[in-house]
Structure 1
Amino acid sequence: MICHIKIKGVLHLDWNTNLYDQKHSFVSKYGKNLIELLEPTAGEKILDLGCGTGDLAQQLDEIGVDVIGVDRSEKMIKQAKTKYPLIEFSVQDARSMEFQQEFNAVFSNATLHWIKPPSQALQCIYNSLKREGRFVAEFGGKGNVQIITNAIIQQIEESGFEFQAEHNPWFFPSISEYSTLMETVGFRVTYAQHFDRPTKLEGENGLKNWIHMFANQLFEGIPVDKKEEMITKVEMQLKELLFNEDHWIADYKRIRVIGIKE
């Protein structure tokens, strides 16, 4: 499970790194295709923004990239350092990074939909890049996990609780919305794609594990026993739609973008 820690009004996610590695390895698996879009070459200096437990940074390192991995989660960084002790990892918030013209590229997989406001992170990413540096990212786009989210909110409200909009932890923009944000900070957007990516969740408890891993904040202020009852009802509500033989399918919709610093 994830704990939610509020510090100075900012919500921090205290990730369960073992659950992340064991049951949600698809995050890194799908990131391999994004590395192909990045087209890294040996000797480049690349920032892995939102590196998690380090699997994709390690793939970049194997290519011969001088990679630095950063993540806001201390637990993620601790696990990354344990797994890959020869790679540089550090705890940093994307909205307050102080890198200046250091990187040939910034690479980010499945991270930017957690970061609000997005413009602060984009400005820091832009500042960190050398001239002609590239920003390559994939994250949740408009409509991502909407079926699952709607079912959770429905169960919260039907159980007599009021859902608070500020408990939604995600920013899922359209292509036009995010491209405009990129252009505002100075990027030339050379690629933008929005696509469906139905995502397999492992086993009969896949949906429940996913909710515990990624959607706990939606239940902010709700007693644990009530939350578990709601999750069971969500499973029942969505089983016919999202359960396939022996596993769940999450209704992912993703955005991929490339921006160049001119």
Structure 2
Amino acid sequence: MKDSYDIWNSTLYDENHSFVSKFGESIIELLAPKAGERILDLGCGTGNLASQITALGAQVIGVDYSPNMIKEAIRKYPHIPFKVEDACALPYRHEFDAVFSNAALHWIKTPDEVLSCIYKALVPGGRLIAEFGGKGNVKQIVDALLLQFQKYGIEEGANRIPWYFPSIGEYTTLMEKFGFHVTFAQYFERPTLLEGKDGLRNWLNMFGDSFFQGLTNNVKDQLIIATEDHLQATMFQNGHWLADYKRIRVVGIKK
């Protein structure tokens, strides 16, 4: 681990953001795991999808950068091996028939490093199946929040953005650079329901922690309230927030 600070609250993740695993279920269909295959779940979170893949007969190892997530995954699914690993420094070489990743790759700002590690981890002919945030993902939320930073005189707000949201052309080109044969690539909009009147606040607390590093709780609260007020008319519908998700799905085969 490069940093002992862990932003992830595994309990809140499962309770308030279960949509992450729910939407990931359709990616398992794209993975189409076969009995006996060795599969690496990269960015496994609390292990829900790793459990579903295991139930289909595959041999799964789940890895995540967050010790909190891995601790909860082990508690929930003690029959599955879970490990704390850095996606940019994976120790595996020619070990997996597939690498599966849901909602994780956009957290890694050095995609070349993680793609290199994934390629090395796969056996020849092995496949990468992934979904993650694409270009323009949560742009309305980020723009509204950065506007509040500007109004409050907080500099370098854009430098606090923790995500990498590539275009589909950018990412598939990078995959090909590292030797993947891209057999499937899809970019799509997926407006995502954030439960209840506090849905946006909960989302920012869960996924936007880096925006507020070094700020007092009072300033953080004011920024969130101002962001909610700014987005209320366009993103709050029928008592719920609707986040402007845009996703990329890819399948690549190791040549």
- For normalisation by structure 1, the TM-score amounts to 0.95
Q: CA deviation at 1:241?
A: 0.4
Aligned pairs for 1:146-185 within 5 A: 146-185=139-178
The answer to whether the aligner puts 1:253 opposite 2:246 as a matched pair is yes
Q: CA deviation at 1:222?
A: 2.1
C-alpha distance after superposition, 1:193-229 (max 9, x if no partner): 1100000001110000000000121223222201101
Whether the 8 Å contact between 2:236 and 2:242 is mirrored in structure 1 is yes
Whether the 8 Å contact between 1:6 and 1:12 is mirrored in structure 2 is no
Paired position in structure 2 for 1:118:
111
Paired position in structure 1 for 2:77:
84
| CA distance, structure 1, for counterparts of residue 7 and residue 28 of structure 2 | 27
Paired position in structure 2 for 1:244:
237
Of 158-167 and 178-187, the range deviating more from structure 2:
158-167
Paired position in structure 1 for 2:57:
64
| CA distance, structure 2, for counterparts of residue 113 and residue 213 of structure 1 | 15
Q: CA deviation at 1:32?
A: 0.2
| CA distance, structure 1, for counterparts of residue 213 and residue 151 of structure 2 | 16
| CA distance, structure 2, for counterparts of residue 246 and residue 65 of structure 1 | 41
| CA distance, structure 1, for counterparts of residue 219 and residue 138 of structure 2 | 22
The answer to whether the aligner puts 1:226 opposite 2:235 as a matched pair is no
C-alpha distance after superposition, 1:117-166 (max 9, x if no partner): 11000000000001110000000000000000000000011011113433
| From 23, 26, 30, the counterpart of 2:23 | 30
Amino acid at match of 1:25: S
- Specify whether residues 255 and 13 from structure 1 end up closer, same or farther in structure 2 by C-alpha distance, changes over 3 A only: farther
Amino acid at match of 1:218: F
Amino acid at match of 1:106: V
Whether the 8 Å contact between 1:100 and 1:128 is mirrored in structure 2 is yes
Whether the 8 Å contact between 2:6 and 2:67 is mirrored in structure 1 is no
Consecutive unaligned residues in structure 2, runs of 5 or more: none
Whether the 8 Å contact between 2:150 and 2:157 is mirrored in structure 1 is no
| CA distance, structure 1, for counterparts of residue 19 and residue 6 of structure 2 | 19
C-alpha distance after superposition, 1:36-84 (max 9, x if no partner): 0111111111000000000000001111110000000000000000000
| From 171, 185, 191, the counterpart of 2:184 | 191
Consecutive unaligned residues in structure 1, runs of 5 or more: none
| From 174, 186, 195, the counterpart of 1:202 | 195
RMSD: 1.3
